[in-house]
């Protein structure tokens, strides 16, 4: 074997021997470096955000069947709907309100959470009153009952927005929302300013003639 070829073979053999022992160590170091990378941590405030999303979902679950019920009543001649049809329209509303009205355990309940439960109960009473008169075909009474249902639905929305831990709206131009006693202070919407009270000039004294 020529001397140069022998040197190349020897170098290759030495390299193979070195890598044969160092290879596993390199692999271990490489694996360790990958595993030691910071694993993704939990999303901050995930529990609170999940609760807020659930509140929105529960509220939407109520408003859709209520809107369907009101729409069907307003389209019916004189608002008269057969009892079986009224029962079919009322069932999804009852189920949705039952979910919304479930009390939240005290340690986890946000301040004002009781308002949502009360609003759901009130809306349930309004729905029941509407369903009872649908067979009579009394347009005036139905109008009054529908207005009560719509107002009750708005009350549910307001109770969820103000008392169920949802973030404050930040749409520019909105007036400041009322606050629930015991609830955390709602941050002021970005870009809005609190205007000072208007200065009313004092009336000047009229000189006596």
Is pLDDT above 70 for 1? no
Whether 202 is covered by a domain: the verdict is: no
Can you tell me the distance from the alpha carbon of 25 to that of 21, in angstroms, rounded to the nearest whole number?
7
% of the chain beyond a pLDDT of 90:
31
Whether 172 is covered by a domain: the verdict is: no
The total of other beta-carbon atoms located within 10 Å of residue 141's CB is 16
Whether 12 is covered by a domain: the verdict is: no
Beta strands in the chain, from DSSP E residues, in sequence order? none
pLDDT computed for residue 123 by the predictor: 95
- Cα atoms in the 13 Å half-sphere on the side-chain side of 168: 17
pLDDT band, residue 182 (cuts 50/70/90): low
The pTM score is 0.65
Question: Do the Cβ atoms of 83 and 135 come closer than 8 Å?
Answer: yes
The tens digit of pLDDT for each residue in 52-87 reads 898 888 888 889 999 999 999 999 998 889 989 999
Whether 9 is covered by a domain: the verdict is: no
The tens digit of pLDDT for each residue in 4-24 reads 444 444 444 444 444 454 455
The tens digit of pLDDT for each residue in 122-148 reads 999 999 999 999 988 899 999 999 999
The mean of the pLDDT values for the chain is 75
- Cα atoms in the 13 Å half-sphere on the side-chain side of 100: 32
Whether 132 is covered by a domain: the verdict is: yes
Q: What is the CATH number of the domain that holds 159?
A: 1.20.120
Is pLDDT above 70 for 121? yes
Q: Is the alpha carbon torsion for 129, 143, 97, 75 positive or negative?
A: positive
Question: Do the Cβ atoms of 127 and 69 come closer than 8 Å?
Answer: yes
Of 171-175, 192-196, 201-205, give the lowest mean pLDDT range. 192-196
pLDDT band, residue 113 (cuts 50/70/90): confident
Whether 16 is covered by a domain: the verdict is: no
Residue 51: domain span = 47-163
Number of domains, the chain: 1
Q: What six digits make up the tokens of 137?
A: 């075909």
End-to-end CA distance of the chain: 138
Whether 109 is covered by a domain: the verdict is: yes
pLDDT computed for residue 157 by the predictor: 92
Whether 72 is covered by a domain: the verdict is: yes
Is pLDDT above 80 for 173? yes
């Amino acid at each position: 074997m020529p001397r140069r070829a022998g040197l190349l073979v020897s170098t290759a053999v030495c390299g193979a021997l070195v890598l044969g022992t160092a290879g596993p160590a390199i692999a271990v170091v490489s694996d360790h470096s990958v595993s030691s990378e910071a694993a993704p941590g939990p999303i901050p405030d995930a529990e609170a955000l999940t609760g807020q999303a659930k509140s929105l979902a529960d509220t939407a679950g109520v408003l859709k069947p209520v809107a369907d019920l009101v729409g069907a009543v307003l389209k019916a001649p004189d608002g008269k709907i057969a009892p079986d049809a009224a029962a079919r329209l009322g069932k999804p509303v009852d189920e949705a309100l039952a979910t919304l009205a479930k009390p939240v355990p005290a340690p986890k309940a946000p301040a004002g959470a009781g308002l949502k439960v009360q609003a759901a109960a009130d809306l349930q009473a309004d729905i029941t009153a509407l369903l009872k008169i649908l067979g009579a075909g009394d347009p005036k009474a139905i109008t009054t009952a529908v207005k009560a249902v719509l107002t009750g639905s708005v009350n549910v929305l307001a109770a969820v927005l103000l008392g169920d831990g949802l973030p404050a709206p930040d749409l520019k131009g909105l007036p400041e929302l009322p606050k629930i006693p015991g609830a955390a202070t709602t941050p002021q919407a970005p870009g809005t300013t609190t205007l000072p009270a208007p200065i009313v000039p004092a009336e000047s004294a009229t000189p006596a003639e």
